[in-house]
Amino acid sequence: MKRFVSMLLALLLVFTCAACSSTKTEQTSDSAKTTAETAATETEASAGNTAASTDPIRIGVSAAITGAAPLDGERSVQGIKMAVSEINAAGGVLGRPLEIVVEDDANDSATAVNVVNKLVSDQSIVALLGPHRSANAMAVEGIVAQAEIPYLTGASSPSLVEKVSNPWLFRIRGSDSFVGQIIGKFAIENVGATKFGVIYNNDDYGVGGRDVVVKYLTDAGYEPLVVEGHNTNDTDMSGAVTKCINAGIDCLIVYTHDPEAAILTRQMNEMGLDVPIVGPTTFSLPTYLSLVTAEETEGFYSVADFVADNPDELVQKFYNSFVETYDVEPDLFAAAYYNGVYILADAITRAGAADRASIQKALLETKDLPSVYGTLYSNEHGELVHSAVVCEIVDNQPHWFATVYE
């Protein structure tokens, strides 16, 4: 654990003080030789450039601890707490400890609005992590813009870029504008499919993914034979399955959430639609996989942010530390928000200050930052993640197949 913390903090300092060439290759931690004590000393020295305060640097967290998919919120908070613990154990940031203020948004847009209003009104809170789901992120983005507080979210819908212009919003997972294209490309080139069905949820996440996938397939000469939507909490997908059977599709691309994906998978199996699914992160999540069987998911693929057996060294160190800390495996939510804390720590260190405006400016200048999601950099839209992993579902578990870079 100590060696892992030393490596991450040393990398933050090394990569924020010197420009490194950006390559589209997997990053390793070979340069991480500095000790955690050295990193702490340097951050304490940099604190001389700011107020001499030793008060905590407070970060607000809006997490789906209850409501639909509470495991997502639990893992998010666990990832955040582990990162905070590591950083504080090594001396904090600018000589100050990090502190989190966690509120439950219940994975509900109205609740998320109330939670975020409460968090941003506290002027001692200098940045916000979450809410996560795209619909909830869209519901609160105007609040964070008005409050002028840096907002890091794992929401992946393209709408966060295409429908809003918010310099305070930063995405810490890969956008579906990127992921959807990988899904289409993989389905054509690796699965070898030519007749596609697309099923999606009628929310910001599903519609955004649908639009990217349908455009990619159509531009490639494979206009989908079926494009069918459904609503959150729908329990009958048989109509969409029937359309896919009648159209003779040989691959199904699905953009929806865990419960609906499980219902669709089960009804595909019951009705005899024996084709592979290629989808986003949903199909590699523990919640989804706990609702289906190995027989039902045979031949499925997921384009995700994180998978436990990714051979990348930073991923393996994070995985081992998380299991040691919590005695459970991390998922993409744990990894994303663990990353989020280190992204903020990096920005505050480079800014030499912990006020909202200074952090926002430094976040916009993020580049060449090693992480468990590959090398991070901020583009003009505040998107920080530019790689993804393709997982193959084997025996109802996701397994690393390839890493793809933007």
| pLDDT-based confidence at residue 74 (cuts at 50, 70, 90) | very high
Residues 196 and 169 in one domain: no
Maximum CA pair distance of the chain?
A: 70
**Structural domain contains residue 23:** no
385 within 8 A of 174, measured Cβ to Cβ: yes
pLDDT at 184 over 90: yes
Domain boundary among 282, 304, 326: 304
Residues 287, 243, single domain; the answer is: yes
Residue 175 pLDDT > 70: yes
pLDDT at 287: 87
pLDDT of residue 53: 77
- Based on the domain organization, do 283 and 319 belong to the same domain? no
Asked if residue 322 and residue 333 are part of one domain, the reply reads: yes
| Structure tokens given for 192 | 């070898």
* 282 is a domain residue: yes
Q: Looking at the structure, do residues 131 and 207 belong to the same domain, yes or no?
A: no
**Within a domain: residue 122?**
yes
> Does the pTM of the predicted model rise above 0.85?
no
Q: Report pLDDT for 136.
A: 94
User: In this structure, are 167 and 182 located in the same domain?
Assistant: no
Average pLDDT for residues 34-40, to the nearest whole number?
A: 36
Judge if 123 and 61 occupy the same domain: yes
The CATH number of residue 378's host domain is: 3.40.50.2300
Question: Prior bond to 131 cis, omega within 30?
Answer: yes
Query: According to the model, what pLDDT value does residue 39 have?
Result: 38
CA dist., res. 405 & res. 129, Å (int): 25
Mark whether 191 and 257 lie in a shared domain: yes
- Whether the predicted pLDDT of 2 surpasses 80: no
pLDDT attached to residue 38: 36
Task: State whether 258 and 335 are in the same domain.
Answer: no
The confidence band for 1, taking pLDDT boundaries of 50, 70 and 90, is very low
φ/ψ of residue 128, rounded to 5: -130, 135
Does the residue 49 lie in any domain?
A: no
Report, as an integer, the average pLDDT of 344-355: 98
Together in a domain, 170 and 186? no
The residue out of 281, 304, 327 marking a domain boundary is 304
Span 93-103, average pLDDT? 98
Distance CA 128, CA 372 (A): 20
Handedness of CA 282, 317, 175, 386 (dihedral sign): negative
Report the domain count for the chain: 2
Residues 223 and 292 in one domain: yes
The predicted pLDDT at position 157 comes to 86
Q: Is residue 39 part of a domain?
A: no
| 198: β partners | 227, 253
- Residue of higher predicted confidence among 153 and 42: 153
Is residue 8 one of the residues assigned to a domain? no
Q: What is the rounded average pLDDT of the residues 290-310?
A: 94
pLDDT value at 88 more than 80? yes
The answer to whether 354 and 94 are in contact (CB under 8 A) is yes
What range defines the domain where residue 283 resides?
177-304
**Whether the predicted pLDDT of 82 surpasses 80:** yes
Tell me which of 304, 325, 349 is where a domain ends.
Answer: 304
CA atoms within 13 A on the CB side of 114: 8
Write out pLDDT tens, residues 303-330: 998 999 999 999 999 999 999 999 999 9
Tens digits of per-residue pLDDT, 364-391? 999 999 999 999 999 988 999 989 999 9
Which pLDDT score, from 0 to 100, does residue 75 have?
95
Task: Calculate the CA 113 to chain-centre distance.
Answer: 21
13 found inside a domain: no
Residue 201's alpha-carbon distances to 118, 186, 255, 289, in angstroms, are 30, 21, 6, 19
* Distance between start and end Cα atoms, the chain: 31
In which band, very low, low, confident or very high, does the pLDDT at 47 lie, cut at 50, 70 and 90?
Answer: very low
Examine residue 83 and state whether it is found in any structural domain, yes or no.
yes
- The pLDDT score that the predictor gives to residue 328 is 95
- 262, 355 in Cβ contact below 8 A? no
Nearest to 154 by CA among 138, 131, 135: 131
Question: Which element (helix H / strand E) includes 211?
Answer: helix 204-219
Query: In the chain, pLDDT over 70 holds for what percent of residues?
Result: 87
pLDDT, average across residues 204-209 = 92
Domain identity same for 115 and 200: no
Q: Is pLDDT above 50 for 6?
A: no
Instruction: Give the confidence band of 68 by pLDDT, cuts at 50, 70, 90.
Output: confident
Average pLDDT over residues 150-175: 89
